[in-house]
Structure 1
């Protein structure tokens, strides 16, 4: 008799845990829409580590909730006791999910900043909130939806330049300082156009065809010339952003864009010799 009751208890617990797991997976899917469609659209999850954060949060949430249900569920308990158990488990799981998503949001990308020869992706976690108060109007709060394209100004004087160098040595680049940001506009686009390079140079440096790069970046073939700049973040420097003649972003590819400089230098030396 005891063995029958034991099996019955586990069958009930497994059935309850399975249903809980299904609900947890649905919630994880909804959370994924928020994370990867709003906060970390492609390729920013790869650039900033958002995918790893999401996996950690969801894995813990999905495992803990159904596991607690498996442990506590019992057909011997009265309906009121079951409701209390499942309500407490649900509350704990929901609180953990909300806290996890909040942690993911703190690391969300907020700006694609043009900085000299690259586009640097800046996350909310990399920004000192004190700099927001000193920023221009429009940059005093960080966006929750989408990534802001910005430029980065030069140092106003020698003292500011020295201070900027000191901050850069500490890992705080100008692109991470909202009080240095400039709004995206014709002047900033012109700066980009002066330094962006033809996609053909990247293809030659990486021993690839332009067609391969375009396919990798999932760019629709239009017949118009394409250009690129290195796309960097605090996590990686092995991406490029593909742009059209107006410096609009049209695609991204996991290719080291800085290799072209070395290739160009080598080619120049060979021509001189």
Structure 2
């Protein structure tokens, strides 16, 4: 027989559970998209779809299970055990989603001669990251860091990387032992192969408005800007000023 009072109370409990789930999911999303995958890395590195799928399932299934299991006729101990199990499963699923996104998070934006390359956690060896100086190590509460690459110390070091990369191994961009801070002379090297932003906008006129908006935000003259392509899961370019500092990003193929 359809127990209307029971379903009303269960719906109220499920509604409260849904609100709590949304708040927890929003906090998790802030960490993921506000820190680890800050714009535009949510597009450049992927990971967004996996996180949203896990969170969507988590937010829906938790309250749904509460609706099915909740009954005011149950002994208090049994009811709390049921709800505790639901909460545990829900938090475990969210934790797995956060861990998966954390494992795939972008760590660096590496300047490589005529482009920038997004380097994610799976691209580099943990031991190499640990050997970095403190100012270059990835930090939990910080997004991807822009770095440059030092030249090889000698021909032997150069040939080693060249041979390993040709065999499918890691190139300079995925070798933290070559990383140096992206500043001063290292940043200015980006200008050697950069092109005027106007060239990009001629090829990608649909980005004209976005470029103008960026210029207004920076209080800069867009005509003075240059660009380099960004290699990631999607086609983007990095917008540079005359000091080689990145002012923002625009969507489109920069090659």
Match runs of 1:75-90 below 5 Å = 75-90=72-87
Match of 1:160 in 2: 157
Show the counterpart of 1:193. 191
Partner of 1:26: 23
C-alpha separation in 1, matches of 2:158 and 2:63: 55
1:94 aligned to 91, 96, 103, which one? Answer: 91
Q: Is the 8 A contact 2:115 2:228 kept in 1?
A: yes
CA distance in structure 2 between the aligned counterparts of 1:56 and 1:199, rounded to whole angstroms: 37
Return the alpha-carbon distance in structure 2 between the equivalents of residues 153 and 173 of structure 1.
Answer: 13
What is the TM-score with the length of structure 1 in the denominator? 0.83
Change (3 A) 1:57 1:219: farther
Say if 2:215 and 2:221, in contact at 8 Å, map to a contact too: no
Of the two, which has the highest radius of gyration? 1
Find the aligned partners of 2:162 and 2:93 in 1 and give their Cα distance.
41
Deviates more, 1:188-197 or 1:206-215: 206-215
RMSD value, Cα: 2.2
The answer on whether the counterparts of 2:110 and 2:117 sit within 8 Å (CA) in structure 1 is yes
Q: Choose which of 179, 182, 185 in structure 2 pairs with 1:181.
A: 179
Deviation sequence 1:160-219 (CA, Å, 0-9, x none)? 333323433426331111111112221201211222211112123x1528843514x633
In structure 2, the partner of 1:227 is 226
C-alpha contact (below 8 Å) 2:207/2:251 kept by paired residues: no
Match in the other structure for 1:172? 170
Paired residues of 1:135 and 1:180 also in contact (CA < 8 A): no
The residue number in structure 2 matching 1:143 is 139
Contact (CA 8 Å) 1:199, 1:228: kept in 2 or not? Answer: yes
Shift of 1:241: 0.9
1 CA distance for matches of 2:121 and 2:147? 14
What is the CA–CA distance in structure 2 between the aligned matches of 1:72 and 1:130, rounded to whole Å?
A: 47
Structure 1 pair 8–28 and aligned structure 2 pair: CA distance change class (3 A): same
Higher relative contact order structure (alpha carbons within 8 Å, sequence separation ≥ 6): 2
Q: Which residue of 1 aligns with 2:6?
A: 9
CA distance in structure 2 between the partners assigned to 1:134 and 1:21 by the alignment: 44
Give per-residue Cα distances to partners, 1:63-90, cap 9 Å, x unaligned: 2211221221122212222222112211
Q: For residues 93 and 190 of structure 2, what CA distance do their matches in structure 1 show? A: 43
Gaps of 5+ in 1: 259-273
| In structure 2, C-alpha distance between the alignment counterparts of 1:26 and 1:188, rounded to whole Å | 43
The superposition leaves residues 5-60 of structure 1 with CA deviations (integer Å, 9 ceiling, x where unpaired) of 3x333333222222211111111111111111111111011101132122122122
Structure 1: how far apart are the matches of 2:48 and 2:130?
A: 31
* Distance in 1 separating the partners of 2:5 and 2:113: 68
SS at match of 1:102: helix
For this pair of structures, how many residues does the alignment match? 250
Q: Is the 8 A contact 1:200 1:210 kept in 2?
A: no
Per the normalisation by structure 2, the TM-score is 0.88
